[in-house]
Structure 1
C-alpha cells in the first residue's frame, strides 16, 4: 500500500509539473493529433508509475460506479427516498430498472472502465521500450493484463458485447473502435489476459507492495469467469490454485482499516485517507441523509442528496439467521436521534471513522478467500451432490466463523438439512448473499445462476408495496432485455455502436 500510494502521489505531482512547464512553451506545441505519451516512457520508474496509474482507475470506479451497478441493481440494496431534494433521480432509476441510454451514470461507468483499459494498453505498448529485468517486466505485464481483464469482465456482464480496445490511441483517427465485439470474443480476450497474467505474477509481495494483484488474484477471477460460462471443471481447477490465503478469525476484523490487505484479502481497491484525492468516502454515501452527524460522527461534513444510497433492503435483512455475527458488522436498521429511533437502514461495514472531514481510510474488497471457498463448494456441487463431503466442509467453515451451526445432509433441524444438489445450491446462494453483502457480488451471482429475473421481480413487488406513490410506473419490471444496461447514447452516436434492445 505504501509503495502504491507513493507512486500515485508522484504521478499526480508529475502531471502538475508537466502542465506548468507546458504553459511556458505554449508557442512551441506539438500537433494535437499526435499525443506525447511516448516521451514519458524512458525508465523503470516511469513504467512503475504507469502501472500504478492503471490501478488508479479502480479508485475512481470504486467510489461510485462499482457499487451503483454491482450492488444496487440487486435485491440486497436500494436507496433512501429523499423527498426534500429531488436531484438524484438518475441513481434511483438504476435501482428501479428504468435507466435509459441518456443516463449520465452509465456514461461515467463506461468511460471510467475504458480509461482504465487505456492505461493498461499504454503500459503494454511501452514496456518493451524500457531496460529492466525480465522479472520486473513480466510483473508489470501481468498486473495490467489482469486489470484490463477485470474491466472487460465487468463490462461484458453489464453491457454484453463491447468494443475490444487493445491498442493505444495515438491520434483522433484511432479513436473509433471496430464496433462491438461478440460476447464470446470479449470472454476469449479476458481468458487470454488472465491466463497470461497468472504465469507472470508473483504469488505474494513484501509488506511494502501489499495491495498489488497476484497470481492468486488472476486465478480467483479466472474461476469466476469460468463459472459465469458454466465451465465448472475449469473453474474448479483455477480456484484450487488460489492458495496462501486463510479466513480471518473474526468477520468484523476484515474491514478495519488497520487490517487492510489481510490474510483473507485477494483483491481490494486501495484508498489512502490522509490524501484528499486518494481517500474513500463510503461512510458518507451510505449514511442516511437525515442522520446528521450521528452515523458519521463527523461534525465538519453535512449530509445531503449524496447520502442515503446503497441502503440494505428488507430482503437482505431477513436473510440473516438468528445469531449471525455478520449482521451487526454489516448493517444497522437505523439510528438514534434526539426524537428517538429512526428506522433508516444503512451499511456499517465501511464505517470506521474519518481521517479528515469527508475523507476515510477504508479499502473496498473485491475478492476475499471466503468468496473463493464458497465458489469451490459451488463447483463441487455442480459436478455432483456429495452428502457431507468437501463442499459442506467449505460452506460450514464460513458459517462457523459467523457463529452459525453447520448445515448437513440428514440434519434433524429442518433449516439446517441440505439433502440434494438443488438444496445445496440454495444454501450457497443464501450464504453468499449475507457473507459478501455490499461487496458487489449479489447482482453478478443472480445473473450467472439465472435467478435475476424471478428474484428481482419478487423483490420489486415488495419494494413497491411499501409505498406505491414513490415509484414510477413500470418500476422493477425486469425482462431479459433489462438484464443488460443500454449502451451510453454518446457512444452509440460517436462510435456508431449498435444499441442493446430495451
Structure 2
C-alpha cells in the first residue's frame, strides 16, 4: 500500500505568505502583494498556503537537518579544506565549537520559525474559509503536524524556546513572551500531533502523495513520547502506525531510489523535484569529497571543489559499526573513490543519496524523515524497556530489520537480558538509520551523548592533526546549541550556557 508523499509545491504565491505581516506602516495593501487581507478566500488559496508551509522543509533539509542531526554526532564529520575556509562554522558544529553568531545556527532557528509562522497563518485563517469537513480537517492536521515537527526539532536542539502559536499582525506582537519551558513546548507538540492524527486521512490519491497522513502524525507522536520515556503512550501511538499498512521493503536500497519515492516503508519524506528550478536537491554534491572532481557525482560540468562539498563524511566509528556482510553499508557509504589518474583515494563519503543528476548540479533525491524501519525498532525498544522477554516480539521486530540487511537473527542466547537488548537496538538504529538525521537525537534521549562524543572526539583528535585542541570538550551544557545572538539581543532572550 502506497502512503503519503510527493507534493506539487505551488511557490508563486505561497513563498510570500510566511512572514505573517499583514500591513505596511501606512496600512496600505500594494496591488502586487499577497497578504492576509487579499488571501485565504477559498480552498485553493488555503491549499497554496499549506503547500508553502511544506516548502520551508527543503532549505532545512538541505543544510540544517543533516548538520545538526548527523554531523554533530559520531556518525559523520567533514573533509578538511586547508585552502577554502568559507564554511569554518560548519566544522565547528562537528567539533562542538560553534558559537551564537554562526549563520548555520541562525538558519536552523530562522527557517524553523518561518515554518511555524506559515502554519500559524493557516490555522488562524482557515476558520474564515468555506470548506468541506474533510478538507478542513486535512489542512488543519497537516499544519499542526508541521508546526509540531518544527518545535520538536527546536526543543531538542535549543531547550526552552519561544512558543509562537498565532500570526503576528502588528509590530507590538513581534517580541515573544520569552523562552517557554521545555515541558510547555512538549505539551504543545503533543496537543498538535494528537489533534492532527485524529484529523488527517490515512492516505491520499497518488497525485497528492507527499502530504502528512494520520500515520505520519502518529509516528512522530510516538517518537515524542519515546523521547520523554513515556513508554505506554509511545507504544500506543506506534501500534497505530504498525496497523496502518506500512511494511519493510525487500530491498533496503529501494528506500532511497528516486525512481521509487514514497514507497510502502516511507512515512514522511522531504520532497524534492529534480526537474524543477528551486525544488531540486543537491545532497550528492554536498556529500562528495571536495577533491573528487566528477568521480563521485559523474557530473563533469559541475566542479566539486571548495567549501560547498566534503560534508557529512562517514567517520571511522560509523564504518566500524557495520557487521561483516551487512548489505546496508554499501548502500549507505563508499570507502573511497578512484580519481581521474586512476588512483584510489581512501576518503569515505555518503552515497545513500547518490543516484546521478537530472541536470547539471541538480538531483532528484528526496530526504527520508520517518521510515517504518524506525518505527519497528522503536516498538522493539519500548517492549524491552517495559519488560525483557527472551525471543519475544521485540526480538522478532529487531530480526526483521537485521535479516533484510543480510545478518543473522539475534536470540536470547546472544542478548540474554534487558541491557544487552537495549545495546543491540541502539547499535541497530545507528546503522539502519545512518545519514537520516536520527543519531544525534538517539544519543540525547538515551543519555549517552556526553560519554560517546567525548570518546569519539578523542579518537578524531588522535587521527587528525587539524582539529583544535579545545574541540570535543563535550559537557551537558554543550548538548544544547546557543540561541542565535541576534535573537538574544532583539527578543531579549536568555542565552544557553556553553
1:471 CA drift (Å): 1.1
State the distance in 2 between where 1:223 and 1:204 align: 19
Q: Equivalent residue of 2:56, what SS?
A: helix
Confirm or deny that 1:483 pairs with 2:479. Answer: yes
Matching residue of 1:356: 359
C-alpha contact (below 8 Å) 1:35/1:171 kept by paired residues = no
TM-score, with normalisation over the residues of structure 1? 0.94
State the distance in 2 between where 1:2 and 1:162 align: 30
1:36 CA drift (Å): 3.3
State the distance in 1 between where 2:234 and 2:470 align: 38
The unaligned stretches of length 5 or more in structure 2 are 18-25
Alignment of 1:226-245 (within 5 A): 226-242=225-241, 243-245=244-246
Confirm or deny that 1:221 pairs with 2:220. Answer: yes
- Call closer, same or farther: CA 1:145–1:454 in 2, change over 3 Å: same
> How far does the alpha carbon of each residue in 1:459-501 deviate from its partner, in whole angstroms, 9 at most, with x for none?
000000002x301121001000000000000000000001111
State the distance in 2 between where 1:366 and 1:30 align: 38
State the distance in 1 between where 2:15 and 2:240 align: 39
- Call closer, same or farther: CA 1:466–1:453 in 2, change over 3 Å: same
1:129 CA drift (Å): 1.2
TM-score, with normalisation over the residues of structure 2? 0.94
Confirm or deny that 1:247 pairs with 2:275. Answer: no
- Call closer, same or farther: CA 1:206–1:80 in 2, change over 3 Å: same
Matching residue of 1:266: 267
1:434 CA drift (Å): 0.2
Confirm or deny that 1:451 pairs with 2:448. Answer: yes
C-alpha contact (below 8 Å) 2:40/2:46 kept by paired residues = yes
Q: Equivalent residue of 2:37, what SS?
A: helix
The unaligned stretches of length 5 or more in structure 1 are 16-26, 411-416
1:5 CA drift (Å): 4.8
C-alpha contact (below 8 Å) 1:264/1:369 kept by paired residues = yes
Alignment of 1:254-333 (within 5 A): 254-304=255-305, 305-333=307-335
State the distance in 2 between where 1:65 and 1:309 align: 12
Alignment of 1:147-186 (within 5 A): 147-186=146-185
> How many residues of Structure 1 are paired with residues of Structure 2 in the alignment?
483
1:445 CA drift (Å): 0.3
Confirm or deny that 1:497 pairs with 2:493. Answer: yes
> How far does the alpha carbon of each residue in 1:362-399 deviate from its partner, in whole angstroms, 9 at most, with x for none?
00000100000000000000001100000000000000
> How far does the alpha carbon of each residue in 1:266-320 deviate from its partner, in whole angstroms, 9 at most, with x for none?
0110000011200000000000000000100011111121000000000000000
State the distance in 2 between where 1:12 and 1:168 align: 16
C-alpha contact (below 8 Å) 2:5/2:211 kept by paired residues = no
Q: Equivalent residue of 1:440, what SS?
A: coil
State the distance in 1 between where 2:107 and 2:172 align: 23
C-alpha contact (below 8 Å) 2:384/2:421 kept by paired residues = yes
State the distance in 2 between where 1:108 and 1:99 align: 13
C-alpha contact (below 8 Å) 2:4/2:212 kept by paired residues = no
C-alpha contact (below 8 Å) 1:324/1:404 kept by paired residues = yes
State the distance in 2 between where 1:229 and 1:206 align: 35
State the distance in 1 between where 2:436 and 2:70 align: 7
- Call closer, same or farther: CA 1:265–1:2 in 2, change over 3 Å: closer
> How far does the alpha carbon of each residue in 1:439-460 deviate from its partner, in whole angstroms, 9 at most, with x for none?
0000000000000011101100
Structure 1 counterpart of 2:408, from 393, 405, 409? 405
Q: Equivalent residue of 1:156, what SS?
A: helix
State the distance in 2 between where 1:190 and 1:72 align: 25
1:86 CA drift (Å): 1.5
Q: Equivalent residue of 2:278, what SS?
A: helix
Matching residue of 1:81: 80
1:169 CA drift (Å): 0.7
C-alpha contact (below 8 Å) 2:178/2:491 kept by paired residues = yes
C-alpha contact (below 8 Å) 2:332/2:352 kept by paired residues = yes
Alignment of 1:332-347 (within 5 A): 332-337=334-339, 338-347=341-350
State the distance in 2 between where 1:13 and 1:109 align: 18
C-alpha contact (below 8 Å) 2:231/2:386 kept by paired residues = yes
> How far does the alpha carbon of each residue in 1:14-47 deviate from its partner, in whole angstroms, 9 at most, with x for none?
99xxxxxxxxxxx99449xx99323211110000
Confirm or deny that 1:439 pairs with 2:441. Answer: no
RMSD across aligned C-alpha pairs, in angstroms? 1.9
State the distance in 1 between where 2:471 and 2:487 align: 26
